[in-house]
Amino acid sequence: MTKIINLIASIFLARILTPSDFGFYGLVLTLLSFMVVFDEMGLKNAVIQSSEPLEKTLYIGFAWKLIFAFLTLCFSIIFLAPWGAHFYEQPELQLMITGVALAIFCDTGKFMPSTYFIKNHLFGKLVFPSLLRTFSYSFLVILFAYLGHKYWSFLYARTLSCLAEVIFLALIFPWTWKISWKGKEAQKLLKFSFFVLIAAFLGVISNSMDNLVVAKLLGFSALGHYTVAYRWGGVLAIDLGIIINEVLYPINVQYQNQAKTFERIQYQSMKYSALLMLPLSFGFAATCPEFVRLILGEKWIPSIIPLQILSLYNLLLALEMRGNIFLALGKPQYASWLALIYIFFLGIMIVPFTLAWGIIGTSLAALIAKLFRFTSFWLMLKPLLSFSPLSILKTTEKPFLATLVMTIAILLTKSFLYWAGVSPWFILIAMVIWGAGIYAFVIYLLMKEEVLAVWTIFKEKGLSNRERLERIILSL
């Protein structure tokens, strides 16, 4: 439900706001993403991964969280905001960065309840707070944008929706502002989170290089087109991958020392991830020219080719989301190496590619660097497992074949309909239905038993989507 609300809100905003508005706010989030890393410090993952009783680690983690959140807030306001305004020659950046930094600090109030619920697999408890925040944010950002507040709409909506979620979580999970500081446990959490911090910081660099380069070399309007292309390029696969990643991480932690069960979990999660992510990514790439022109508007046409390229980029990213498998196995340093590999190859290509081909070149540089990272991920995973990672990838063969048939069918049929002079609106709707039908038919022929098993679980009542995914992954 939250994803559907986000999609609808994104469409309204694309129609109301300009590419420059999206680029301006996208740059603010990019600059602050460096600070958010230190704010988070990987403490939630450290508490979840810890084998110590939750009663011991939860308040210790909160103490660290509060300290780092306050320090990063001060740094953002005192140093980052004025520097960003000066470097990009936009005085309004200083006030916007300050406002968003304060909104991010408000998220500290979510740490206790959200960590507790995730650690105990009580994902259903987080559904309504997440829905409340998403709905309130979407409603408010559209309202403020319609009233003419431009990029400030994002700030106003983010602040108010954050407060609504924090207050609601406090009501369903009452907790006291207790600071616990047991030296030994605190050191353990900080040691683990230190490696997570390094990986996360490198991850932020790798995820921010493209936005920073585009903003500096091509301007806010180009960054707006690139931001929309990136967002919609992963609108389905990444959103689904994030949910699977959140569900899979505590499962990986729980079964990391049970070799056979852990092996089956990896097979199951990859098979069913590919079953959904492959057709969503390739299908959206095949139909995105019509989607952009008709749904988002003509002003977003420069985003079409980057969006198609980034659909493949985000597919690789989503398939790499293995429930933070390196963290679950107690090897957070491996994630740092992956980030360095991506940064190295992207750093070589991004400036010349962007100067040569604009945001299309930026997208190509990101995709090529991601291919190197994706390959390295599986090579690095091999020594840590008692089975071959290639055997996990083989589980994607049938979904890939069905996706290939679907994509060819869409492209050929679409070409014929354009030749016949059919309305673009009819083509878009028909291709969505046609592609879904072709894929469902082929995948049913190839994976009948698995499809029926998934359908049986999804028909069960009283389960949240996260709980259904957990049942599927653990249906050994």
Helix and strand numbers (H, E) in the chain are 21, 0
Tell me the backbone φ, ψ of residue 256, rounded to 5 degrees.
-60, -25
Same domain (yes/no): 20, 87: yes
CA diameter of the chain: 74
**Contact present, 43 and 72 (Cβ < 8 Å):** no
In a domain, 192, yes or no: no
Nearest CA-CA partner of 283 in 309, 311, 243:
311
CA distance 460 to 467: 11
**Contact present, 19 and 224 (Cβ < 8 Å):** yes
In a domain, 187, yes or no: no
Per-residue confidence (pLDDT) for residue 55, from 0 to 100: 67
Q: Residue 463, SS3? A: coil
Residue 197 CA from chain centroid, whole number: 18
* Domain span at 160: 1-181
Low-confidence ranges of the chain (pLDDT < 50): none
Q: How far, CA to CA in Å, does 403 sit from each of 28, 118, 436, 442? A: 37, 33, 10, 9
The structure tokens listed for 350 are 């991004």
Q: Residue 441, SS3? A: helix
Per-residue confidence (pLDDT) for residue 165, from 0 to 100: 86
Handedness of CA 233, 227, 103, 7 (dihedral sign): negative
Same domain (yes/no): 376, 454: yes
Same domain (yes/no): 134, 252: no
Per-residue confidence (pLDDT) for residue 275, from 0 to 100: 85
In a domain, 266, yes or no: yes
Same domain (yes/no): 155, 251: no
**Contact present, 48 and 118 (Cβ < 8 Å):** yes
Nearest CA-CA partner of 58 in 71, 44, 41:
44
Same domain (yes/no): 375, 261: yes
In a domain, 201, yes or no: no
Which residue carries 């707070």 as its tokens? 129
Same domain (yes/no): 132, 210: no
In a domain, 195, yes or no: no
In a domain, 199, yes or no: no
Per-residue confidence (pLDDT) for residue 3, from 0 to 100: 72
The structure tokens listed for 71 are 């320090």
DSSP letter string, 236-298: THHHHHHHHHHHHHHHHHHHTT-HHHHHHHHHHHHHHHHHHHHHHHHHHHHHHHHHIIIII-G
The structure tokens listed for 343 are 């940064």
Q: How far, CA to CA in Å, does 119 sit from each of 100, 112, 114, 349? A: 28, 11, 9, 40
- How big is the chain by its Cα radius of gyration, in Å? 22
Per-residue confidence (pLDDT) for residue 224, from 0 to 100: 94
Around Cβ 79, how many Cβ atoms within 10 Å? 11
- Provide the 8-state DSSP code for 77: I
Same domain (yes/no): 276, 395: yes
Per-residue confidence (pLDDT) for residue 424, from 0 to 100: 92
- Provide the 8-state DSSP code for 384: G
Spatial neighbors of 323 by CB under 8 A, at least 6 apart, are 244, 245, 247, 248, 249, 251, 252, 269
Same domain (yes/no): 12, 159: yes
CA dihedral 199, 201, 204, 205 (to 10 degrees): -100
Same domain (yes/no): 14, 50: yes
Same domain (yes/no): 91, 159: yes
* Number of compact structural domains in the chain: 2
Q: Which one-letter amino acid corresponds to residue 443?
A: I
Task: With both helix axes pointing from N to C terminus, report the angle between 465-473 and 259-291 in degrees, rounded to the nearest 10.
Answer: 130
Last residue of a domain, one of 130, 164, 181: 181
**Contact present, 41 and 65 (Cβ < 8 Å):** yes
Same domain (yes/no): 148, 264: no
Same domain (yes/no): 131, 247: no
Long-range contact list for 254-259, CB < 8 A, 24+ apart?
Answer: 256/328, 256/329, 256/330, 259/386
DSSP letter string, 142-207: HHHHHTT-TTHHHHHHHHHHHHHHHHHHHHHS---------HHHHHHHHHHHHHHHHHHHHHHHHH
The structure tokens listed for 354 are 């962007």
Tell me the backbone φ, ψ of residue 297, rounded to 5 degrees.
120, 155
